[in-house]
A and B are shown apart, each in its own frame.
Chain A
């Protein structure tokens, strides 16, 4: 595996993304909206709810908000990966790319990098901005800075990257089966369901998402699924399969 070859493939995709506004919007707009919205909720609780929310309730709310960023980590790579792979199919540019002295693994890793890097940077970056905003806004009620803590660090720096990888893998599999970017995005978005399920379980008090042990169990399960999907992706991303069977 030559990382330089993979990086050329990724940098080519970055150059293409810069030309597509909808990809830029999906990387920037949704995280900005989520960050503004949850920060506003924290501000509202502080200034308008007149003390009806106790510090204990706030410490349940904040980890749930940080978990929203894991859901985001499924949305952004979905848009990028669908354009990266289905876009190549639509433009029929995969054949000349495969004819270069680049291995299947290098192309796949390049595609993975192209979806992973902006996804992780956007989610972790905006998650960090939310943590700073939430600390400033909640300090009055809590009397201390809630973030960073072990659970938020685990979510942002462990679970989010794994969620992004899962999302990219899922989208590679989906993209091999469809030839329309929008359908790829719709089907690719299904990867959000398990993340949303975990979030809802936290909201319904079925899982305590503030408990570091629970988060590590979830992370281990996600990493296991990630490995299984990697085998499926490697089997799908073979040059002969791409040229003769991908629809």
Chain B
């Protein structure tokens, strides 16, 4: 659905986005992670045909980004939730959506039906005649999402949709994005919230002007490779430790109180075997699992290495 090939944007001597290549499939939720100034918003603006690319290529739904003839077609098939919601604060929630429905060329009946459906889904129908300027940040963000969906776009670009929201509003917005995911919409999510990316996205790209890594959240977690199996016992015994060491001679085992950490390759696959050995050795397990490297570890390692 979205494809970029060496996409680059320069502002004078400053390179904002440097040769970024990725593919986003239909119905996929693709997270774009990166620090402030990494080029996330610039990439979204290029893909939404808001600013030109300096070099490279990008296609959305088969249409070429940067081609004048295709720009209107691309803008018709996408919805954008910008980092600043940009609502008409003096106008009602209904009027805000109605204007955009008209700009996207939605017929009146479809427009009315869509406005009612989205405002109801987002819990704003009762406030439809209230000026958007009186809404809380969370309500404004929800209204901005409804505005981006009013024409039923195939691709939804969301730029930091939960930034500056309180936890409850952020959860409402995240839940709504998860609902959209169930509807198999293609979503391109710019965020620097790692937890959000991990929970929502099918795949994640880490950007710091250049693309540092792309993969599923699990793949990225494993990228830095220091995950360990951790077994927490009711009571630690030398026999249990020796049994594990005997079964897995290459493992590096460290014990701290009642917790045993086992550094071993392919840790996810071997954890059930380790558990079996511990149980056979008479250990009573309180917790067992592969822990250690997280998406945050990978993100920080990649971004710091780049800096």
Which residues of chain B are near A20, meaning CB under 8 Å?
Answer: 90
Find out whether the CB atom of A243 lies under 8 angstroms from the CB atom of B103. Answer: no
Find out whether the CB atom of A240 lies under 8 angstroms from the CB atom of B51. Answer: yes
How many angstroms between the C-alpha atoms of A21 and B241 in the bound complex?
79
Q: Mark A38-82, 1 if CB is under 8 A from B, else 0.
A: 000000000000000000000000000000000000000000000
Q: How large is the interface on B (under 10, 10 to 19, 20 to 34, 35 or more residues)?
A: 20 to 34
B293 at the interface (CB under 8 A from A): no
B99 at the interface (CB under 8 A from A): yes
B20 at the interface (CB under 8 A from A): no
Min distance, Cβ A86 to any Cβ of chain B, angstroms: 14
Question: A87-95, A170-178, A207-215: which lies at the B interface?
Answer: A87-95
Q: Mark B77-120, 1 if CB is under 8 A from A, else 0.
A: 01010101111111100010001101111000000000000000
A189 at the interface (CB under 8 A from B): no
Find out whether the CB atom of B84 lies under 8 angstroms from the CB atom of A92. Answer: yes
A101 at the interface (CB under 8 A from B): yes
Q: Which of B35-59 contact A (CB under 8 A)?
A: 45, 48, 50-52
Find out whether the CB atom of A99 lies under 8 angstroms from the CB atom of B75. Answer: yes
Find out whether the CB atom of B90 lies under 8 angstroms from the CB atom of A16. Answer: yes
Q: Which of A7-40 contact B (CB under 8 A)?
A: 8-9, 12, 15-16, 19-20
Find out whether the CB atom of A94 lies under 8 angstroms from the CB atom of B86. Answer: yes
The interface on chain A, measured as residues whose beta carbon lies within 8 A of the other chain's beta carbons, has a size of 25
Which residues of chain B are near A205, meaning CB under 8 Å?
Answer: none
How many angstroms between the C-alpha atoms of A109 and B80 in the bound complex?
23
Give the contacting residue for B86; candidates A5, A96, A103, A239; CB below 8 A: A96
How many angstroms between the C-alpha atoms of A92 and B85 in the bound complex?
7
Q: Mark B244-276, 1 if CB is under 8 A from A, else 0.
A: 000000000000000000000000000000000
How many angstroms between the C-alpha atoms of A204 and B6 in the bound complex?
67
Find out whether the CB atom of B84 lies under 8 angstroms from the CB atom of A95. Answer: yes
Which residues of chain A are near B99, meaning CB under 8 Å?
Answer: 8, 12, 15
Q: Mark A94-130, 1 if CB is under 8 A from B, else 0.
A: 1111111111000000000000000000000000000
Find out whether the CB atom of B50 lies under 8 angstroms from the CB atom of A243. Answer: yes
How many angstroms between the C-alpha atoms of A96 and B75 in the bound complex?
11
Find out whether the CB atom of B91 lies under 8 angstroms from the CB atom of A15. Answer: yes
B147 at the interface (CB under 8 A from A): yes
Min distance, Cβ B16 to any Cβ of chain A, angstroms: 10
Residues of chain A whose beta carbon lies under 8 Å from any beta carbon of chain B = 5, 8-9, 12, 15-16, 19-20, 91-103, 239-240, 243-244
Residues of chain B whose beta carbon lies under 8 Å from any beta carbon of chain A = 11, 45, 48, 50-52, 72-73, 75-76, 78, 80, 82, 84-91, 95, 99-100, 102-105, 131, 144, 147-148
Q: A96-B82, A98-B50 are in contact. List 8 more A-B contacts (CB 8 A).
A: A16-B88, A19-B131, A92-B82, A95-B80, A100-B103, A101-B73, A101-B104, A102-B103
Could you give 23 example pairs across A and B, Cβ below 8 Å?
A: A5-B103, A8-B99, A9-B103, A12-B88, A15-B95, A15-B99, A91-B86, A91-B89, A92-B85, A94-B86, A95-B50, A96-B80, A96-B82, A96-B86, A99-B48, A99-B75, A99-B80, A100-B75, A100-B100, A100-B103, A102-B103, A239-B50, A240-B52
